[in-house]
Structure 1
């Protein structure tokens, strides 16, 4: 019996299959991308720190920049780039051996180009290793450039920050994520989706494009239909429509109805932090159509934020969430 073989591309997850290869293909953070385009055109790459939330394109942007700097030459991309990510051991020995050896290596590059060392998740590098990098960056600055990618730039020591240009990435806007999702669906020839399904994927991703694409693929392969109900089954979060109804019942003074909905969510196994996070997202979208002005909205968000703080500190009980609903009744 022979097994049918498929092309390798079909086996790639969508997040890799549709990963941008050039800076023009990167969506969002327009000002930051334009700054990198100028760097790729001039060729004078400084040491860089790219900071921002996960899944918004930091590592992809670095690889796009390197591809353009090396004129899409696969040999140069292989020889002229050293990439270390969070799965690698990045203690002081790695700095003294691997990074130093790569910095000393001779590579024939185009004029005004440098070897690139990419340190992904740089905020998890040990403090001693960061201290050791200071001297290495200075000694080999004529031939090698360092690019740090991190979630929080303040976890990188100040001596390294002072040697680098810091570029900050923001979360992607909903409309930017929607453009990418529709482009993927069109390329895959998928028509079995609803607008509320795409809206639900964007809502649960919270600006994280990687998570949005992964959820899109999971929902499609799991149910062959991308709608709101199937999305929340996959991501395992409380449905925001139900949470919205619960909050409105409390704002109308119907605390018993609100507590009944909360009890149903609790019995389904949703954790306190999941419920409180969805409450926070839902309340940020409340507008004047719900007869709630800005002052009331701020009071609602403050009450939810106080409850969220207690839940994060460890008091994740049903009683804590009930107390939050009672405080919403007072609003």
Structure 2
């Protein structure tokens, strides 16, 4: 039965780095944290940066390297976005776990096993402000026996009193070269054939998110077999093909269309036959629509908004953009 379970394991877990030193393209973070592991003196930490760059992987690797498999379950509490992390959870579950002291002990089975516990709060930027404020006192009261690791995409959504109590580590988006090396390694392990065009497409559609790239690769392998093309990856990712974006942009310039994303932004900023003022107006609208989509706005209506205002800017219509 073991091989069957292995065959259905998500590749993002199967190929997740198990040690801090194996995390890709985060040299400064890895160097500092490696020194931290050697001394076992761990401060409160805040990991922030784009998704899929190794934040959660690094936090889990630190915990496993400090405590090993035997003490991990009793010394580490991990809460992610699927858990309720309102103020009541902070006052009960987190506080109760943080308050319990642990034995000083010594190294066990080659692991440092320091005399404190670790609480990992993944996607901490989705916590309410009240919950974050409640954590301030908990961090101060139990800092002798508990360390916190906060993980978020947007550091601006972490209240300053909480952020100031942590050592901050910024995770950079992965470059295409780093992603290509990792993807090629996975392809070799899984017996896949991916040409250079498909690799380039995968790097473009994943936008520096290695987790997303690996997920797209596995989905394409399940649907299309061992030989994966650029078109296969576009199909499983759901991104808009470049020719469709070009057609939309051409329709806007012509002043007639029937019916936005990063591809449209790329087309706009690289266009040589429109003025900087026109580019500025279009990019402002793209930014506003992107925010609305994040807040849950209807995609079709936002597409109409982008297309109509892009046409207005390109055709130099007199009506001004509405705020």
Normalising by structure 2, we get a TM-score of 0.81
Give the match for residue 206 of structure 1: 207
SS of residue in 2 equivalent to 1:316? helix
Residue 86 of structure 2 is aligned with which of 67, 73, 91? 91
Q: Is the 8 A contact 1:69 1:113 kept in 2?
A: no
Residue in 2 aligned with 1:31?
28
- In structure 2, the residue matched to 1:227 is 229
Deviation of 1:95 (Å): 2.1
1:276 matched residue in structure 2: 261
User: Structure 1 stretch 178-187 or stretch 7-16: which is displaced more?
Assistant: 7-16
Query: Match of 1:238, SS?
Result: coil
1:223, distance to aligned residue in structure 2 (A): 1.4
CA shift, 1:136, in A, is: 1.7
- 1:102 equivalent in alignment to 2:94: no
* 1:86 shift after superposition: 1.2
Aligned partners of 1:81 and 1:116 also within 8 Å: yes
Matched, 1:78 2:56: no
Conserved? CA contact 1:29–1:170, under 8 Å: yes
Residue matched to 2:131: 129
Give the equivalent residue in structure 2 for 1:10.
7
How far did 1:169 drift? Answer: 1.4
Give how far 1:107 is off. Answer: 4.7
Looking at structure 1, the residues matched to 31 and 275 of structure 2 have their Cα atoms a distance apart, in angstroms, of: 36
| Residues 323, 128 of structure 1: alpha-carbon distance in 2 compared, 3 angstrom cutoff | closer
Deviations 1:220-258 (A, max 9, x none): 2111232121121112222125535775x69xxx955x9
Unaligned segments of structure 2, at least 5 residues: 107-111, 317-323
Q: Distance in 1 between matches of 2:39 and 2:22?
A: 19
> Using the alignment, how far apart are the partners of 2:85 and 2:304 within structure 1?
42
Q: 1:165 aligns with which of 164, 167, 174?
A: 167
Change (3 A) 1:5 1:131: closer
Whether 1:217 and 2:218 are equivalent positions in the alignment is yes
Q: Which moved more, 1:297-306 or 1:53-62?
A: 297-306
Q: CA deviation at 1:323?
A: 4.9
User: In the alignment, does 2:317 pair up with 1:321?
Assistant: no
Normalising by structure 1, report the TM-score.
0.79
Q: Does 1:306 align with 2:308?
A: no
Q: How many angstroms does 1:214 deviate by?
A: 0.5
Pick closer, same or farther for the CA change 1:244–1:166 going to 2, 3 Å: same
Distance 1:205-1:282 versus aligned 2 partners, 3 A rule:
farther
Question: Which residue in the other structure is 1:142 paired with?
Answer: 144
Q: Deviations over 1:137-181 (max 9, x none)?
A: 122211211111111222222221221111111211111111111
Is the 2:139–2:148 contact (alpha carbons within 8 Å) kept by the matching residues of 1?
yes
- CA 1:13–1:301: 2 relative to 1, 3 Å: farther
CA 1:42–1:317: 2 relative to 1, 3 Å: closer
Q: Which residue of 1 aligns with 2:177?
A: 175
CA distance in 1 between partners of 2:28 and 2:183 (Å): 22
CA contact (8 A) 1:276 1:304 kept: no
Counterpart Cα distance in 2 of 1:159 and 1:170: 24
Aligned equivalents of 1:329, 1:173: Cα separation in 2: 37
Alignment CA distance shift 1:207-1:317 (3 Å): closer
CA distance in 2, matches of 1:205, 1:18: 17
SS in 2 for 1:6: helix
